[in-house]
Amino acid sequence: MTSVATDKRRRSSFSLTRLFENYSLSLVLGALFLLTWLFHGITGWKAFAAEQKEHGAAPVFWGDDGFIWEFLKQTMENWQSEFLQLLAMVVLTAFLIHKGSAESRDSADRMERKIDEIKRTVEKAK
C-alpha cells in the first residue's frame, strides 16, 4: 500500500486520543454535567428520604409518590431558570448597550469604524 492510503486509513480509524483532542471541551463539560446531576440526585434522595421518614412513610424511588417526580421537577425548574437567564442575556445584549462591555455591540461598532478608517488610509496611500 502507498503511504497516502495508509495515512487515510490511519486518519479514518477510531482513536480515543483523537476524539479527546477534537472534542475535549464537550467531553469535560458533559462529564461535569453528569457528575453534578448525579450529586444533585443523591443529595435530593437523602433529603426526600428524611422527609418521608419524618412523616412516617417509606421513601420510594418510583411510583406516584416516588422521588423521581420530585427529582425531575427540580431538574426542570433549574434548567428553566438557567435557559431563561441565558436567553435574556443573549437577547438583551443584542439590542442594548453597556459602554465598554465585551458583550455589548458598541465595542464591535467601534472596532468596525477603526477597521474602515485603516482601510481608507491604506487605500489612499496606494
Give the tens place of pLDDT for each residue, 1-25. 566 656 666 666 678 888 888 899 9
Instruction: Determine the pLDDT at residue 34.
Output: 96
Residue 43 exposure: Cα atoms within 13 Å on the Cβ side: 8
Lowest-confidence pick of 11-20, 59-68, 117-126: 11-20
Place of cell 454535567: 33
Rounded Cα–Cα distance for residues 66 and 60 (Å): 5
Tell me 57's DSSP state. -
Q: Are 93 and 103 in contact (CB under 8 A)?
A: yes
Instruction: Determine the pLDDT at residue 3.
Output: 61
Segment 41-50, tens digit of pLDDT: 999 999 999 9
